[in-house]
Structure 1
Amino acid sequence: MSLRIGRSGLVGRASASFPIPGSPEGTGTDLAWIDDFWSKAGEHIFCREDDGALILPPNRVYKVNATAASLIAYLKRGGKVAKLKLPSAEAQRDTALFFGDLASLYRGDEPVNGTVSAETYSFSFTRLPVLGEIALTYRCNNACRFCYAGCGLTKSLTPFLTRRPARPTADYKHIIDIFADEAQIPFFSFTGGEPTLRSDLEELIAYAQQKKLITNLVTNGTLIDAARAHALKEAGLGSAQVSIEGPSADIHDNLAGRPGAFTETLAGIKALQEAKIPTQTNTTITRANLAVIHQMPAYLASIGIHRFAMNLFIPTILGEEADRLFVSYEEIGPYVDAVAKEAKKLGMTFFWYSPTPFCNYNPIARGHGNKSCAAADGLLSVAPDGSVLPCSSWDEPIGNLFSQSFRDLWFSEAARFYKEKRFAPAPCTSCESFVACQGACPLYWRYTHSEPSGFKKT
C-alpha cells in the first residue's frame, strides 16, 4: 500500500485562516491519533481525485497518488481510520507515515517520514483551478492610484472593466455553484471594487458556506463597523484580507486617493478582529511607499495583525502616474528580503504574492514558494458580469460563465494560451528556470516593453 505526496510549486493568493492541531503522538504503526487529527484539520484539507491535487491552507498545492486520494476521500465522507481493515502491517505502517507527513505539511513543518518527494513541475500540474475569486462590483469608495480595475481613475489600460455591470444575487449563486460543483475549488475570495458595497454580500457568504466552500473577503475595510463585522461573521465568512498601503495616514491616504481612508481602514480591521474573523492585510508596493515597507511588520504587529502579505504594483494604467508608482523587478528583491527579515524577528507570517523572474528574484530560494503566473491556470477569476479573466488585472476575457459551460471555457484554446505560458518573453522560454518561473507577470512586460536580461539558457 503506497501513499505518496509530490511537492512542487505553490499558488499564492489570498489566505484563509485555519486551526493547527498538535503533533501526532507517534507515526510507527500507531493509527489512533489520525482520526483525532482529522477531526480538527479535515475540513481545511482538500483533495481532488480528478487530478490528484492536495490543497492545504492557505493555498499550498501538492500531488498525491491514487491510493492517498482515495483514502482522503474516504475520510471526507466521514470514514474513520480506526475502522479500516488494512491488509498488512506494512499497509498500517504506510498509512501512519503518510498521515504523519500530511500533518507536518499542514502545520507548515518539514515532513520527515519519507512519503514526500520532489516532483518536477509541469504546466499540467493541476487540471482544475486551485483558487477562485468573484469581483462583485467595480464600484469603490476609494480611488487607489494603482487600481487594476481603474476604479476612480480616468487613464487606464482597462477602463472597460469599470463598465462591466454587476449582476443580481441569483447570478452570483450560480457562479458559486460552478466553483463548488465543477471547478471543485475549496475556497475563494469576494473582491471588487469594494465588495462591502453590496448589500447581499452576507447572503452570498452564507450560500457559499451551504456549498461547503470557505470564503475570504478582500476589502479596504472602510465600510466595516461592528454591526457589519458581526453580520459577516454570522454569515460564515472564513477570513478577511484588508488593504493597507503604509504605516501612516499620509502614505495610505495618498495611495488610496481619499483623506481619512487610513483611519477608517484601521477601524474596519479592529471591527473584524473583535468579531473574531481571522484577518490579515495586504500592501501593494509602489514607489510611493517603497521606502517604508520595511516598517510594516512592526506597525501591523502593533495593531494585532500577525499574518500579512505584499505584492508588487503591476501597471494597468497609462501615463505619468504609472511611471511615478512603478518599481522594477531588478530592484524589488532587497526590499522584500528586508520585510521578510523583520517579519521573522517578530514571529509573523509573511506572504509574498507576486511572480518575479528567477533571474532577478527567486522566491523559492527565499522560502516564499513558487509564485509563477496563475492566470487561467491555478486561478479562476470572475468579473462582475460573469466574464472569466486570466487574472483580475488582465483585461482580455477568455469567456463568460453565463453563456459558456465551465469545462468548455476552462479547457478552451483561449485558456490554453495562458496555461501553456505562450505569453512568456522569448528569452524566458530557453531559460533553465522557465518551467518554474514561467516568465513572471506578462502585464509587467506589456508595460515596460522589455524582456528579462539575467536568464540562463538551457
Structure 2
Amino acid sequence: MIAPLQLVAWETTRRCPLACRHCRGAARDAAYDNELTTEEGLCLIDGIAEFAKPILILTGGEPLFRPDIFELALHASGKGMRVVMSPCGQFIDAEGVRQIKESGIVRLSISLDGATARSHDAFRGVSGAFDKTLAALSRLKEAGIEFQINTTVSKLNHQELPAILALAKTTGAVAFNPFFLVPTGRGAAIADLILSPEEHEAALTWVAEKAFGDSLDVHPTCAPHFNRILRQGALHKENTPKRKRLLASRGCLGGNGFIFISHQGILQPCGFLDISCGNVRDAGFNVKKLYEESELFNQLRNRKDYRGKCGVCEFLDACGGCRARALKQAGDVLGEEPYCLYQPKKNMNEIIELDEIDRELLTRLQHDFPVSSRPFEAVAQECGLTEEVVLSRMKRLSENGLLRRIGVSLHSAKIGSISTLVAAKVQKERVEGVAAFVNHYTEVTHNYEREDGFNLWFTIVAPDKKRLNKILTEVREQPGVETVLDLPATHLFKIDVNFSLK
C-alpha cells in the first residue's frame, strides 16, 4: 500500500559554512555544480503540489546560501504546503527574520549538538558556531517564529541529552528532535561513535519517557525502534491525546510517506540512503510518477520481504528498522537494523525442535533450584554437562521464547513483610491512568485489568502495615476510583506444578 506523501526534504543546496563530523553530504563551503535553478525549483514545487500537500523541509547544506530561498518558500506556501526550513543558524539576522516571516515559513529546525560551546563547536567543526546559534534562537523567539532543536546523538554527547533538552526549553523551542547517527558521508569516518545497541536502548527509553511526559514535543529521528520501545512502555501511560498521537506514529517512512530530493534533483528514500530512484528533471518534474512507481520505494513498502530479525519481528509494522544502517552494515537495504538489541518472539506457528538435553534441563529447572552463587554450575554437574553449555542453552531457549523467566519467589510473611490482594472499581475512562499510578509503587507485584465491576486487581507486598495502609489510602484518593477492597489471604494454597518434558 502506498502511503500519502507527508514529508518532502529538499536539499536546496549542498554548500555549507560548517564542517560537521556527521554530515551525510560531506558538505563544504563551495559552489556545487548542476543544482536546481529557481525555475526548476518552482517546477518541482508545482509537481509535488499536483498530487500532495506535504510538509516541505527546505534543507541543505545551508538553504540561506540560495538567494531565491524565500521566493521558493513563498511559492510552496501559496500551494498549500506547510513550509519549514533547516538552516545552520549562522546567518539569521534581523533582515533574515523579517524575510522568514513574510515567506510563509512556519517553523525552523536548528541544530544544537552539545549543551556547551565546547562540545557543539567541536562537532560542528567551526569555533563560535554555538554562540551564533544561540543568538539566532534569541532573535527567532523575540520575533515569535516557531523553532525546534535537532541534535545528532552519538557517543560524544548522549550523556548531554538532558542538558540539551533543558537548553532547548530555555531558548524557547517548541520541539526537541534527537537524530541518531547514521554512518554516511563524513559520518562514515566516525562510525565508531554510533551508540551500541544497549546505549540506543537506554537513550531511546529516556526519549520515550520525555515524549510521554514533557511539555515539549519530543520525538527522535533515524531511530525507528523508538516505536517499539514506545509501545512496550505505553501500557503504563495514561490514555491522553499525546499518547494516542505517539502510538499512531510509524517507524521509517523512507519511500512511503517521505522522500528526499537532492540538490541535483535526485529522488531518494531518505538523505542517508544514497540510492537514486530517478531524477525529477528527467521525469519532467512528475514527482507523483516517481513516488508511486520507484522499484526501490515499492520494495521498502513491502515489509514482509525484510530480512533478519526485522523480518520476523512482531513490531515490524510499527518500526521497520533503519534501512540506511542496514545497507551500511551488511550491504542489504532490506536487512535487519544492526543497532536494535530486541530479540523478536518467533512465529507461534513455527515448531522449535528440542533435543534430549533441552528437555532434561527444562524439566530439571522446574524444581529444587539450587540456591547458590553459581546455581547453573550445580545443575550442570547434576546433568553431566558444563556450566557453559547450560548457560548457552538457557540463552537460546530464552531467545526462542520457550523460557520466559527464572527468578526467586519469596514467602513475604516469613521475611516480615505484609501482603494483600486489592480489588478496585475504577471508572472505565480512568483505568489506564489509575493502573499507571498503581504501577509506580515498587511494592506492587502484579496488576491486572478485569472485565467485571471490580476491574483492577493487584497485589501489594509492603514492609509493614503502616506502609500498606498508606498505599491503599493514596489509591483510594485517585480520580475515578470508586471502591477499593483490601483482601488479605487467610489461607495459602500453593500448587507445585511441574511439567515433565522427557
Pairwise CA distance, 1:217: 0.5
Q: Structure 2 counterpart of 1:170, which letter?
A: E
Which residue does 1:372 correspond to in 2?
251
Contact 2:53 2:80 in 1 (8 A): no
Residues of 2 paired with 1:456 and 1:148: CA distance?
34
Report which stretch shifted further, 139-148 or 344-353.
344-353
Q: Within 5 A, what are the aligned runs for 1:383-422?
A: 383-404=262-283, 405-412=286-293, 413-421=295-303
Aligned partner of 2:310 among 428, 431, 449: 428
Q: Within 5 A, what are the aligned runs for 1:188-337?
A: 188-317=56-185, 321-337=189-205
Q: 1:149 to 1:423 in 2, by over 3 A?
A: farther
Which residue does 2:344 correspond to in 1?
455
Report which stretch shifted further, 385-394 or 440-449.
440-449
Higher relative contact order, chain-length normalized (CA < 8 Å, sep 6+): 1
Contact 1:137 1:193 in 2 (8 A): yes
Residues of 2 paired with 1:190 and 1:179: CA distance?
14
Q: Structure 1 counterpart of 2:16, which letter?
A: C
Q: Structure 2 counterpart of 1:239, which letter?
A: R
Contact 1:432 1:456 in 2 (8 A): yes
Report which stretch shifted further, 261-270 or 333-342.
333-342
Which residue does 1:446 correspond to in 2?
327
Q: Structure 2 counterpart of 1:364, which letter?
A: R
Aligned partner of 1:185 among 49, 53, 59: 53
Gaps of 5+ in 1: 1-123, 154-161
Residues of 1 paired with 2:69 and 2:215: CA distance?
33
Normalized against structure 1, the TM-score is what?
0.65
Identical residues among aligned pairs (%): 26
Contact 1:329 1:356 in 2 (8 A): no
Measured on the aligned residues, the alpha-carbon RMSD in Å equals 2.6
Residues of 2 paired with 1:299 and 1:335: CA distance?
18
Which residue does 2:43 correspond to in 1?
174
Residues 268-302 of structure 1 deviation map (CA, whole Å, 9 limit, x = unaligned) = 11222222211111111011111211212222222
Which residue does 1:146 correspond to in 2?
22
Gaps of 5+ in 2: 234-242, 331-335, 348-502
Contact 1:132 1:185 in 2 (8 A): no
Residues of 2 paired with 1:210 and 1:356: CA distance?
32
Q: Structure 1 counterpart of 2:91, which letter?
A: L
Bigger Rg, which one: 2
Pairwise CA distance, 1:265: 0.9
Pairwise CA distance, 1:197: 1.0
Alignment length (residue pairs): 323
Contact 2:175 2:217 in 1 (8 A): yes
Residues of 2 paired with 1:402 and 1:277: CA distance?
34
Contact 1:287 1:327 in 2 (8 A): yes
Residues 19-48 of structure 1 deviation map (CA, whole Å, 9 limit, x = unaligned) = xxxxxxxxxxxxxxxxxxxxxxxxxxxxxx
Q: 1:299 to 1:345 in 2, by over 3 A?
A: farther
Q: 1:318 to 1:448 in 2, by over 3 A?
A: farther
Q: 1:344 to 1:442 in 2, by over 3 A?
A: closer
Q: 1:163 to 1:442 in 2, by over 3 A?
A: farther
Which residue does 1:353 correspond to in 2?
221
Normalized against structure 2, the TM-score is what?
0.60
Contact 1:389 1:396 in 2 (8 A): yes
Contact 2:21 2:125 in 1 (8 A): yes
Residues of 2 paired with 1:134 and 1:329: CA distance?
31
Runs of 4+ with deviation above 6 angstroms: none
Q: Structure 2 counterpart of 1:456, which letter?
A: K
Q: Structure 2 counterpart of 1:363, which letter?
A: L
Residues of 2 paired with 1:342 and 1:401: CA distance?
39
Pairwise CA distance, 1:339: 4.6
